[in-house]
Amino acid sequence: MKSYVLRPLYVVIAFVCIILLARVFVVPKDFGIGERGFMYGWHRKGAEDFWRNFKVKYQTREYCEGCHAQKYETIMASPHAIIQCENCHGPAVDHPVKPEKLTIDRRRDLCLRCHAYLPYPTSGRRVIPPINNDEHYPDTECVQCHNPHSPGF
């Protein structure tokens, strides 16, 4: 056996060492096997914090109640009590700081999401008072006649 025969092997080993060395510097320190074991838990721990600290936009109606107590009371007494304020008023985010004013969606399209007539009696639609979109004052915004906070006239 000639001694030079193993030289390609040394080159390969050197390559492996370079990769392993590079790993030490490139791979974040918090990378590892999490609680779920290798198959489902092999990850960078910091990624969890990223998602945990993601910005909340929808603050829910309890947040609105703090300042708009009267509006809150009115809507809670109406059939629209099931609808969250932010579904029409847009996500509060850091309102009243940022944005200072919320953009209210007053379009007919918004009401039609639930109230457009669809012949689907086996779906949840059966419980909603429907309108025929083509016949019931088309091209008019619903809010001209109906008050969304107290829709029943």
Q: How far apart are CA 116 and CA 64, in angstroms?
A: 28
Q: Does 77 contact other proteins by CB under 8 A?
A: no
Q: Does 58 contact other proteins by CB under 8 A?
A: yes
Contacts with other proteins, 106-135, as mask; x by CB under 8 A? ---x--xxx-x-xxxxxxxx-xx----x--
38 contacts 114 by C-beta, under 8 angstroms: no
Query: Where does 2-131 have alpha helices with state H?
Result: 7-26, 37-41, 45-52, 61-65, 69-76, 85-89, 108-115
Residues near other proteins, by CB under 8 A: 1-2, 4-5, 7-9, 11-12, 15, 19-20, 22-23, 26-27, 29-45, 47-48, 50-58, 60, 82-84, 86-87, 90-91, 109, 112-114, 116, 118-125, 127-128, 133
